[in-house]
Amino acid sequence: MKDRLESLREEALSALGKIGDLPSLGVWETGFLGRKSRFNLLLKGLGNLSSEDRKTVGQQANGIRDELAAALANRRRELSSVSLSGLSETERIDVSLPGIKPATGHLHLVSQAIAEIGSIFGRIGFHRSVQPEVEWDWYAFESLNMPSDHPARDEWETFFVDAPNHPKLGKMVLTPHTSSGQVREMQRRKPPIRMIGISKCYRRQMDVSHVPMFHQFEGLMVDRGVSVTHLKGVLDHFARTFFGAGRKTRLRPFHFRFTEPSFEVDVSCGVCGGTGRLGDGKCRLCKDGWLELGGAGMVHPNVFRSGGLDPEEWGGFAFGWGVERTMMMRSGLNIPDIRDIYRNDRRFLEQF
C-alpha cells in the first residue's frame, strides 16, 4: 500500500507539472484530491491493515495529501500570474488612439424623395395613402372611364397577372398607375378628401428614362366648389417647396380619360430661370423655359360615379406623376440614366 501511495504521488506531481492552464488544474484536483479520487479509493483499504500499519500508512497518506494540496496552490498561483501578465499584452487598449467610426447607412434616394413629397403635401392637409401593387382591371382602367376596348389603355403598357379573373372587377394586373387610388379613396372615406397616394407602379418599359418598376404620387382633392385655381395653387406650392423659391408651374391643355378638362403640368426651368435662354443661346436643359412634370385635371364625372359620389354635388382635381422623374429634374442632381437609381451600386447611392 505504501508503494501504491508513493507511485500515485509521483504520478500526480508529474501530471501537475505538465498543466499549462487554469481550467485543467480543476480537472487535476478532482482526479487526484476529490472525494472520488484514486487517492481516496486507496485509503479505503486502510481499514484492512493492522493498527500499527494503519498508523504509519495514515501518516504517509496525510503527508502526501498536504504535499499535493500545497503543490496545487503553488501551480495555481504561477498560472494565474502568467495569465494576468499576458492579459496586459493581449487586452491592451490605447485610449489615445483615434476611434473607429461605425458605418452608418441612409435611406435610398427614392425613399428620401417619397418622404419629402409626402411631407410637402402633408403640410397643406393632404394625408398619405398607399395603393396595392396588384390591382384589378376595373380599378386601373374601367373605373377611370377607360372601357375595355378603349385605345387610351395602350398608354399603360400593362403587365397582366396569370390569375383567375375577378367575377366583377375583371383581370388582375400589376398596378400601372396610381390613379386607381382615386376611386379606392372615394370608396373608403366621405368627402372632403385631400389625399396624396405614393405607390409602386409597373409597366413594360426600360430605357434611359423608364424602368419597369417605378413610383408615382397621386393627388386628389374632393370637395364642394373646387376649381382649377385650387389645383394651380397646390401645384405651385409643390414647385416652390420641392424645386426652390421662384419656381412656377403652368398648365397646358391635354387629354386624359379620367379628367375633364385635363392638363399637362410644366415647371419653370431652374437653369435658365424660365426664359429658355442661357448666355447667347438656348437653354440646353429645357429649350423653351419649361420642363414637363406630369398630368392633372378636374375629376371626370364618371370617376366620381365609380367612387360612389354624385358628380352634381362634388367637384375635385387630381394630378399624378413619377417620383423618380420629378426627383431627377431637381437642378444639380444630374442623373443621366434613371436605371442607375436601381442598380444598387453603392458608389452611386452613397452620393445622396
Q: Does 316 bind ligand DAH (CB under 6 A)?
A: no
Least separation, in Å, of the C-beta of 259 and ligand DAH? 4
Instruction: Show contacts with ligand DAH in window 202-221 (CB under 6 A).
Output: 218
Long-range pairs for 283-291: beta carbons < 8 A, 24 or more residues apart: 290/250, 290/266, 291/266, 291/267, 291/329
Identify whether the C-beta of residue 100 lies closer than 8 Å to the C-beta of residue 65: no
CA distance 219 to 112: 19
Q: Where are the alpha helices (DSSP H) in the chain?
A: 2-18, 22-33, 38-43, 51-90, 109-122, 137-140, 180-188, 228-238, 301-306, 323-328, 346-349
Task: Kindly report the backbone phi and psi dihedral angles of residue 189, in degrees, each rounded to the nearest multiple of 5, phi listed first.
Answer: -140, 160
User: Across the chain, which distance is largest between two alpha carbons, in Å?
Assistant: 126
| CB closer to ligand DAH out of 117 and 318 | 318
Candidates 87-95, 111-119, 146-154, 290-298; binding stretch for ligand DAH (CB under 6 A): 290-298
Residue nearest to ligand DAH (CB): 295
Identify whether the C-beta of residue 157 lies closer than 8 Å to the C-beta of residue 144: no
Torsion of Cα atoms, 295 then 300 then 304 then 305, to 10°: -140
Residues 259, 268, 306, 326: which binds ligand DAH (CB under 6 A)?
A: 259
Q: Does 135 bind ligand DAH (CB under 6 A)?
A: no
CA distance 269 to 328: 13
Tell me the site size for ligand DAH, rule CB under 6 A: 12
Least separation, in Å, of the C-beta of 257 and ligand DAH? 9
Q: Does 256 bind ligand DAH (CB under 6 A)?
A: yes
Least separation, in Å, of the C-beta of 277 and ligand DAH? 30
Candidates 19-27, 89-97, 282-290, 291-299; binding stretch for ligand DAH (CB under 6 A): 291-299
| CB closer to ligand DAH out of 218 and 266 | 218
CA distance 50 to 308: 112
Residue type, 248: K
Q: Does 297 bind ligand DAH (CB under 6 A)?
A: yes
| CB closer to ligand DAH out of 289 and 294 | 294
The C-alpha cell at 33 is: 484530491
| CB closer to ligand DAH out of 39 and 319 | 319
Instruction: Show contacts with ligand DAH in window 149-168 (CB under 6 A).
Output: none
Candidates 23-31, 237-245, 317-325, 339-347; binding stretch for ligand DAH (CB under 6 A): 317-325
Query: At 270, is the secondary structure helix, strand, or coil?
Result: coil
Q: Does 318 bind ligand DAH (CB under 6 A)?
A: yes
CA distance 88 to 200: 57
| CB closer to ligand DAH out of 135 and 218 | 218
Q: Does 320 bind ligand DAH (CB under 6 A)?
A: yes
| CB closer to ligand DAH out of 113 and 183 | 183
Residues 145, 175, 179, 268: which binds ligand DAH (CB under 6 A)?
A: 179
Q: Does 319 bind ligand DAH (CB under 6 A)?
A: yes
Query: Helix (H) and strand (E) counts for the chain?
Result: 11, 11
Candidates 134-142, 206-214, 314-322, 330-338; binding stretch for ligand DAH (CB under 6 A): 314-322
Identify whether the C-beta of residue 192 lies closer than 8 Å to the C-beta of residue 220: no
The residues binding ligand DAH (CB under 6 A) are: 177, 179, 218, 256, 259, 294-297, 318-320
